[in-house]
Amino acid sequence: MRRLLLLAIPLLIFACTSEDQEPAPIPSTTTAAAAPTTTVEPETDTTEGVTTTIEPTTTTTLPELSGLAYEEVARVDFPIHLIPWETAGLVAAKEGTVWLLEEGELSETAVLDINEQVRNDGEQGLLAIAVHPQLADRLFVHYSANDGDTVVSEFAWDGNAWGDEQQLLRLDQPARNHNGGMIQFGPDGRLYLGLGDGGGANDRFGNGQNTDTLLGGLVAIDVDTAESELFSYGLRNPWRFWIEDDLIYVADVGQNAFEEISVSTLAADTNFGWPVTEGLHCFRPASGCDTTGQTLPVVEVEHDEGGTCSITGGVVYRGRLIPEIQGHYFYSDFCGGYLRSFRFEGGEAVDQTDWTDQVGRAGNVASFGVDGDGEMYVLTTAAILRVVAERSE
């Protein structure tokens, strides 16, 4: 099997993304003028410093875990998503192709190629994929059309590749940034889509708290009827989220100062706060900051911390090879390249752990993924990295 070659050095990133400038590659932050911030106090303290060790959460007879490490699986030009499919995995590349991943090798040819109908520019491109939870021959794809529209489509498996596209949603995007990204099926059988606030800076289009648009929220799609509805709102650019049972972990890309992760019951009409808040802080203190009814983040990361600029979520580990980290939600940052995790318990982020000294900084982390065994992968703009255990002899 052929491995995709790295085609380009990781892109220059995170220039200003105000309305008069070109947007940065996925995902983005902006450098519009920052207003003074006022901290919003959560009901419980969820932002204590990151710890460096954790207690095992699962009994194991394996040799003692001494740390985590990265194992390179393949060199790929901007892999954007990795998901399990039957006994293998599927790897989506931002350019508009999907490849089969078996035993650490990528297929000779793409099993889906929509390159010619995808705008691969900055934050736009093929952004995420999902397989139907009961019918493995139904593949769903979120991509940017050549005219910039957000498109969610279904493709049918013909035994060798996916074809016969059926569009479920097409939505005009007012700008080329904050196009969101993730799609994932929820426990109710609907496909959930994360969409940004429309782009620019400072919620330019006023979509963050507007429930009359699909922008700036999570969209629930019935894949059998193609009916879509705004499910929750108050999001700036939810590049990656993760659904597990009735919980959703939303990593929302901040603007100038704070990145955030919110964890909530997957419930309709949840308000995640943007642009009233950025992280746990008032975004426009002078205009007031009423957080009544909002779901505040359980983790925030300041931009002046370790090169942080754009949060990349994130999966909950449920694999078998590293039982000590069962139930930990892992996340990173596109600029910072760190690896961190926490468990969500009692409404708080607990056992917060920074693994960066062990695994090293991966570079521009664009996404995470899992295979059919629940093992975890980190995707940079240049490679697919498997997270593995290092154990004492």
Boundaries of every domain in the chain: 38-391
Tokens of 258: 């704070």
pLDDT by residue, tens only, the chain of 393 residues: 333 433 333 333 333 344 434 444 455 544 454 445 566 765 444 444 454 444 445 556 899 999 999 999 999 999 999 999 998 999 999 999 999 998 888 999 999 999 999 999 999 999 999 999 999 999 999 999 999 999 999 999 999 999 999 999 999 999 999 999 999 999 999 999 999 999 999 999 999 999 999 999 999 999 999 999 999 999 999 999 999 999 999 999 999 899 999 999 999 999 999 999 999 999 988 878 999 999 999 999 999 877 899 999 999 999 999 999 999 999 999 999 999 999 999 999 999 999 999 999 999 999 999 998 999 999 999 999 999 999 987
The tokens describing 157, both together, are: 């498996």
What is the per-residue pLDDT for 387? 98
Predicted confidence at residue 28, as pLDDT, reads: 53
Per-residue confidence (pLDDT) for residue 105, from 0 to 100: 87
CATH of 38-391, one of 3.40.50.2000, 2.120.10.30, 3.40.50.1950, 3.40.50.10170: 2.120.10.30
Determine the pLDDT at residue 47.
41
pLDDT score for 104: 80
Residue entry with tokens 């879509």: 228
User: What pLDDT was estimated at residue 37?
Assistant: 55
Nearest CA-CA partner of 35 in 289, 203, 284: 284
pLDDT of res. 14: 34
